[in-house]
Structure 1
């Protein structure tokens, strides 16, 4: 009769469950897969499949009792690591959403909003357009595969049981301002062009006060804003490559921060 001790059972369970919690936390919080468009059951099955493939390549996990404070601590640690990695990708995607919202407000298209099915909130149409664009570019350039590669490397650079350092939290906090700054930089040429157009309308109103600037300026600003967005699409790939490279490098640094 095969006799198994509690330590052996705990070691086998920890060998699979601890990596599973990190993988599942990343899939639940990252963009695209972690949105409401993907059912929870599909995300769970995908996390199980990734963990089954990943576990045989990992080193030995710390042996813990199934029901203990240390087991709960290790589980919470893995969940926190996965959520931090997913949140860092969310910052990259929201960079384009913020830039679209800033541009929509400047060109007078902020009133045109639609329901975002991924997040369940109402966002400007231009912000949703930028969001769909960056999702398609991210998938087309295999960004999801790079994310899974970084996740697998995180078990080497940030092993289970070693704990998180203050550098990880400072890395997240220092990146929050990057979203607004990069989003503003992304649409700065378009905002500058719209500002010049508004200044021109202001001078026209000053020169001819009887001119109904609201009847002329608003639709003209809207049309010119759409033309500026259309022209700016020619350079969106170069800008996307710069920001996605920066975001993925930062994600790799975050997984290996000590």
Structure 2
């Protein structure tokens, strides 16, 4: 009985732990590896009570089949985590684009919120604000509910399907791209209008370096646009989280 409980807990940890290691926030590079491992083990043991009937009948299989189940569970958990992370990565992309469009492209890059790679300061602020909003709206609870529901949609006995996983990932990338384009469209329109205006003015007075003179005003306009639009920006980002990632 003890051996069955340990194997069932390990199978639950494979799917839940793989998801938590890749999901945004808890899987961030800012969180120490020991803390992430402790959280994954804790959540796996807590959810095992609800998943016992779905996992326990499969732990008595031969070792060769158990290895296949372990690999399948790891892949399924990674799929759920990647689907959520792709949505946040799309936000980081549009945040970097907004930084460039607002004239902050020449500013020094800072450390990103999720990874150790450098990221512009404005993009880091947008990413951090969006991530904190998702935590405030209990998005991690939605991921845990999706993990429990995944045992009905993809039982332990059904092995990982790479084709279906690639379709889910590509659909998530496509929908997240369109969501982020809509969120960044005011800044795209602002950059086009400002650059056209500066270009016309530069043609009228070619002796004056209007591009360098106009840069502070372009940055100020971008900051004003971000100030008045950040509330709606974050609200639309939060509204699109479930339909784009876990609601498919």
TM-score, normalised to structure 2, is 0.90
Would the alpha carbon gap of residues 34 and 252 (structure 1) be closer, same or farther in structure 2, given more than 3 Å must change? same
In structure 1, the residue matched to 2:151 is 155
Q: Equivalences for 1:59-138 in 2 at 5 Å?
A: 59=53, 60-64=56-60, 68-112=63-107, 113-138=109-134
1:41 has 2:34 as partner: yes
Task: State the number of aligned residues.
Answer: 243
Gaps of 5+ in 1: 1-7, 254-258
TM-score, normalised to structure 1, is 0.86
Q: What stretches of structure 1 move > 6 A for 4+ residues in a row?
A: none
Q: What's the CA shift for 1:33?
A: 0.6
Would the alpha carbon gap of residues 237 and 183 (structure 1) be closer, same or farther in structure 2, given more than 3 Å must change? closer
Distance in 2 (CA, whole Å) between partners of 1:209 and 1:53 is: 69
Q: Is the 8 A contact 1:94 1:179 kept in 2?
A: no
Gaps of 5+ in 2: none
RMSD, aligned α-carbons: 1.9
In structure 2, the residue matched to 1:256 is none
Would the alpha carbon gap of residues 189 and 243 (structure 1) be closer, same or farther in structure 2, given more than 3 Å must change? same
Distance in 2 (CA, whole Å) between partners of 1:12 and 1:214 is: 68
Q: Equivalences for 1:158-197 in 2 at 5 Å?
A: 158-165=154-161, 166-197=163-194
What whole-Å deviation, never above 9, does each CA across 1:101-145 have from its counterpart, x for those lacking one? 111112221222101253100011121111101111001111111
State the structure with more CA Rg: 1
2:26 partner SS: coil
